[in-house]
Chain A
Amino acid sequence: EAGVTQFPSHSVIEKGQTVTLRCDPISGHDNLYWYRRVMGKEIKFLLHFVKESKQDESGMPNNRFLAERTGGTYSTLKVQPAELEDSGVYFCASSRDRGTYNEQFFGPGTRLTVL
């Protein structure tokens, strides 16, 4: 079974540009989570999809961030326009059914650097 994959692994952009991160969850996993780790700080929850629906987006920093999960498969996280403080590692995780806890499997992360 393939794990959670993320693309790209690294992205370096200039302030004001747009970047789109992609996450492919494990096949059959309805739950998809985005997290972000700013250097030296904790990994913070951004949002949670159940299939194609946003279940909780309380962690999204501001309206420059837009997440989608069309068709309930892969998800994209777009940052437009990027700011310096958006630099960090963006993790994606997926799990099976909601209800009782199901283990979340994490992707390798996308390291975003905004110059």
Chain B
Amino acid sequence: AQSVSQHNHHVILSEAASLELGCNYSYGGTVNLFWYVQYPGQHLQLLLKYFSGDPLVKGIKGFEAEFIKSKFSFNLRKPSVQWSDTAEYFCAVILPNTGNQFYFGTGTSLTVIP
């Protein structure tokens, strides 16, 4: 079945540690890729997105993600996390020729310890 996989369900890091959250998708062909974040008590917010072009995408708050087509991956990274990055992170795809609805992964809960 077509799916989006996030292999890390819970991640705990100390401040200043580097972060990488995995995301793999199983759709063939062209997809649009996204990372969303939900801070405690807040709405889902767009972190970054990839449609085409440079496979290294910069997002808000120092996040970036790299699209590797051969690996069907779109991993999220941040060189140095802060306590305020504590949140749940969702990888998502949009398939071409659809109504732009998202297909989400299961989410990764990140806790950053001061």
Total number of A-B contacts with CB less than 8 angstroms?
55
Which residues of B in the span 89-113 have a Cβ within 8 Å of any Cβ on A?
A: 90, 92, 94, 98-107
In the bound assembly, the distance between CA atoms of A95 and B94 in angstroms comes to: 14
Q: Which of B42-50, B58-66, B72-80 contacts A (4 or more CB under 8 A)?
A: B42-50
The bracket for how many chain B residues form the interface is 20 to 34
Q: 1/0 per position for B26-60, CB-CB distance to A under 8 A?
A: 00000010001000001111100001000000000
Task: Give the Cβ gap from A5 to chain B, nearest Cβ, in Å.
Answer: 10
CB neighbours (8 Å) of A105 from chain B are 43
How many residues of chain A have a CB within 8 Å of chain B?
29
Map CB proximity to B onto A51-81 as digits: 1 under 8 Å, 0 otherwise. Answer: 0000110010000000000000000000000
Contact B99 A101 (CB under 8 A): no
By a beta-carbon cutoff of 8 Å, the part of chain A in contact with chain B is 3-4, 31, 33, 35, 40-45, 48, 50, 55-56, 59, 91, 93, 95, 98, 101-109
A-B contact pairs, 28 of them (CB 8 A): A3-B43, A33-B102, A35-B102, A35-B104, A40-B106, A41-B106, A42-B4, A43-B90, A43-B104, A45-B101, A48-B99, A48-B100, A48-B101, A50-B99, A55-B99, A56-B98, A91-B44, A95-B100, A98-B99, A101-B51, A104-B100, A104-B102, A105-B43, A106-B43, A106-B45, A107-B43, A108-B42, A109-B43
